[in-house]
Amino acid sequence: MKARLPKGYGNSGAPSNLQQLAKQAQKMQEKMDAASTELEAKEYSATAGGEAVKVTVTGARIIKNIDIKPEVVDPEDIEMLTDLIIAAANEALRSAAEEKEAVMEEISGGLNMPGLF
């Protein structure tokens, strides 16, 4: 009597498809890693208060620079200056996060696979 393999485990069975799928997943992970590294090095800037305050951040969410026009520095109104800095920083960080999300979604084809990014 000859042993039979379960359906799908012959020469064109599931194991080869799983290997192909694993290779595709590995390629996708490599693309995501490369894109993530590139995006983390990229700089994003945003302004607030009619460009009175400009904040530059990296894709790694690190503040690189804050430019403040001298005419907005009012010792009597530090709270307004603080609000402008926060608004510009949050907008720059939002831009960085949105671009990363868009790039990762493009690479993954919209798949949400936890642990990949």
Amino acid sitting at position 2: K
Q: CB under 8 Å to 88, separation ≥6 — which residues?
A: 46, 47, 48, 53, 54, 55, 66
What pLDDT is stored for residue 15 in this prediction? 63
Q: Where are the domains of the chain?
A: 43-109
- Give pTM, 2 decimals: 0.71
The closest of 79, 55, 58, 90 to 69, measured between CA atoms, is: 55
| Residue 42 confidence class, pLDDT cut points 50, 70, 90 | very high
Position 90 pLDDT exceeds 60: yes
Pick from 44, 46, 58: which is nearest to 88 by CA? 46
CATH of 43-109, one of 3.40.1670.10, 3.40.50.2000, 2.40.420.20, 3.30.1310.10: 3.30.1310.10
